[in-house]
Amino acid sequence: MFAIAKGANLALMFFLELGVLASVGYWGFTVSPNWGIKLLAGLGGLALFIAAWALFGAGGGANATFPLTGLARAALEILWFGGGALALYASGLVTPAVVFFVLFALNAVLRIVWKQV
């Protein structure tokens, strides 16, 4: 039973990672009525977030080009997942932004307690 909970927590992190990308993309494509700005913000924001995660955070750091640990990893996660929540908030989706950040905080605490990632 405990193994199932740990697996569910890792699955939640994966879906939160996807949620960050969806949030940033949504924000980018709703930031302006101008299609050029929408494309730049939507695709550029996604590219920036994908590059940052690939370089520093992918696979819990195991698959990252420059894996971070300790406080640097914690700062990356707060910026990454906080950025997703902030993108939702900036898009006018306040409740989903709060729910997203609370889920991230719960996931992070459980990963620390259960020594995951």
| HSE value, Cβ hemisphere, 13 Å, CA-based, for 70 | 1
Average pLDDT over residues 74-85: 96
Question: With bands split at pLDDT 50, 70 and 90, how would you rate the model's confidence at 48?
Answer: very high
- Kindly report the pTM of this predicted structure: 0.91
Q: Decide which of 21 and 60 is more confident.
A: 21
Average pLDDT over residues 14-25: 97
Task: Answer whether 36's CB lies under 8 Å from 65's CB.
Answer: no
Question: With bands split at pLDDT 50, 70 and 90, how would you rate the model's confidence at 58?
Answer: confident
Task: Answer whether 40's CB lies under 8 Å from 61's CB.
Answer: no
Total residue count of the chain as it appears in this document: 117
